[in-house]
Amino acid sequence: MYRDYNYYQPPTRFTLFPPVVKNLLILNGLVFLAQLVPTTDRWLVEWFALWPLGLPDLPGYPSFWPWQLVTYSFLHGGLTHLFFNMFALWMFGVSIEQFWGSRRFGLYYFLCVIGAGLTQLLVVTLSGTVFPTVGASGGVFGILLAFGMMFPNTPIYLYFLFPIKAKWLVIGYGLLELWAGVASTQSGVAHFAHLGGMVFGFLLIQYWRGKLLVKPRR
């Protein structure tokens, strides 16, 4: 059963970094440090970024491997990319991990990462794109969606100035990502992966709530 809270209790100083959030921050940071070495970065991207299906089996064209559906989320395209993903992971993830517990939170995060990766694979395969996908954004957008569903009326201060309820922030971001993906306004940004993370997160929460045709085991 889910507790239908509109507001959450702020975390204490002892829970500002619950286990899963803390370990994700550390792992992403360590991988980024490894990426600062050019030769290591090339190797990491070749083997652990998410590459499209069906690329030519020729030198210079890395292959898709199943593990990439998880490992791509630990690679980032730069310090700004890493910072905003990790800040959002911490900002929203702490409350969700405390609310659900670490085990369910970790499962949810990585299923959103995989869902985002599958969505991105479909999009890039259909479009013929040959560039890899990196970043934790799919999982982060899934967490944002969860925050909006668990604490819909909690105020979020947009740009630290303007309060907006979490549910409206989530809806706004979802619509913005859909528009940006369809309009292709930002090349190099995996908008449909972001949407995929949100959609898979929504379906998983509804499954846990018993609102889908397939019911969870009790």
Active site residue 194: yes
Count CB atoms within 10 A of the CB of residue 112: 29
Per-position DSSP letters for 32-100, written without gaps between them = HHHHTSHHHHHHHHHHHSBPPTT--SSTT-PPP-TTHHHHGGG--SSHHHHHHHHHHHHHHHHHHHHHH
Q: 125, 54 in Cβ contact below 8 A?
A: yes
Active site residue 184: no
Distance CA 5, CA 190 (A): 32
Largest CA distance in the chain: 55
Distances (CA, A) of 115 to 25, 65, 89, 138, 213: 21, 15, 17, 8, 19
Catalytic residue among 73, 95, 191, 194: 194
Catalytic residue among 76, 137, 184, 191: 137
Q: Which pair of tokens denotes residue 178?
A: 């859909």
Q: Which residues are catalytic?
A: 137, 194
